[in-house]
Amino acid sequence: MKENINALKNRFKALYPSAGEPRVFGGPGRINVIGGHTDYNLGFVLPCAVDREILVAASVRQDDILSLYSVDYKQPFEIKLGSLKFSENQKWANYLMGVFSVLLEDGFHLKGMNMVFGGNIPQGGGMSSSAALEVAVCTAIRAMQGVKLSDIELVKYCQKAENKFVGVMCGIMDQFASAMSKKGHLLFLDCADLSYELIPMKFEDISFFIADTKKERTLAGSEYNLRRQQCTQAAEIFRKLDPKVRGLRDVSIEVFEKNKGKVPLPARKRAEHVIYEIDRVKKAAEALKSNDLEAIGRIQRESFRSMRDIFEISCPEINAMADISDSVEGVYGTRIIGGGFGGCTISMVRNSAIKELEDKLAQEYPKRTGLTPEFWVVNSADGAGEVF
């Protein structure tokens, strides 16, 4: 990491030679072991931050200019804080502008900043590079401009930036995991009230294996928002039966099965996935506490089938990746990571099986899809903060 930090600082000094020594903040990406599309339905999720991150080198200016540079895109972007608006040409800048925008909207007095950022989280891969960037930026603003925000408030502002400014109606899991994770633990998060439990990962010789299909997805341009609308439609129908229903989280499996005929398709299918998936997350959290890896893997496979057949967010590339992965002895379970429609899969795998898994994917996946996959092992990590 130190080499990445030094390289980022050097790029910052070359771009802003009179700005002095920058401070560097990191926002980690995240994986989600179980809990697909349950967060915005006020359900439970089981994520953790990982050792891939977005790094932001920053300094505070004495004017109202927000001066940005993306190392990955090799592009500059500059705008006044009073003129923040969505950029169609440089969409990466919207995630940074969005954080400034929602803070300014709520009355925080901010100065302009210089920010140079880059990272090693695959974009569009389902590991939440956007949330990692938002959290890193907001952490930098809080630390360098004296903005008084609790950790939970920071998480909420980052989600609001993506919802209101970027236009992706994501739930709060991604930002929460990036900000609040602890190395060696999974976060059992209740997205209704943001209460959470850090559950230690007791298993040894087991890794999280990420496989990138190289099938690009863009949540803002996909059916992600449509799925959310369909879930809301279903929740509203159940709310007419019981006014206490806040979201699909408050609909039990028994109530759903008794009344599902009242919900039109496809909203009925979306609700079915979410309601059963929430139950799967709770079961996986209990299995984690007892170190029952077979149960967790079985639940992951059930989750994948539900996302593929009922929530309908898979694609031929994801299906091929999951089929090949789960055929390898030593893989406990494979599922979609992120919003779907492409991106990556996540597998829980014994370390002794990683080489066989890599070889089989490298040989068979291109034959099925014409694409060359990329894969890596990730480890749990602490949440966002200043890096040295």
Residues catalogued as catalytic: 174
Residue appearing with tokens 């089989």: 360
Closest CA to 180 of 166, 192, 194: 194
What backbone phi and psi angles, to 5 degrees, belong to 22?
A: -80, 160
Residue 66 · residue 78 · CB < 8 Å:
yes
Instruction: Give the C-alpha separation, 300 to 335, whole Å.
Output: 6
Helices vs strands, H then E, count in the chain: 11, 13
Residue appearing with tokens 């809301």: 232
Instruction: Specify the DSSP element, H or E, that contains 96.
Output: helix 92-105
What backbone phi and psi angles, to 5 degrees, belong to 50?
A: -130, 170
Q: What token pair was written down for 21?
A: 């020594």
Peptide bond into 47 cis (omega under 30): no
Distance of CA 124 to the CA centre of its chain: 10
DSSP secondary structure of 212-227: E------GGGTTHHHH
Distance of CA 224 to the CA centre of its chain: 13
Tally Cβ neighbours within 10 Å of residue 73. 14
The letter for the amino acid at 77 is F
Residue 296 · residue 333 · CB < 8 Å:
yes
Tally Cβ neighbours within 10 Å of residue 144. 17
Residue appearing with tokens 């449509």: 226
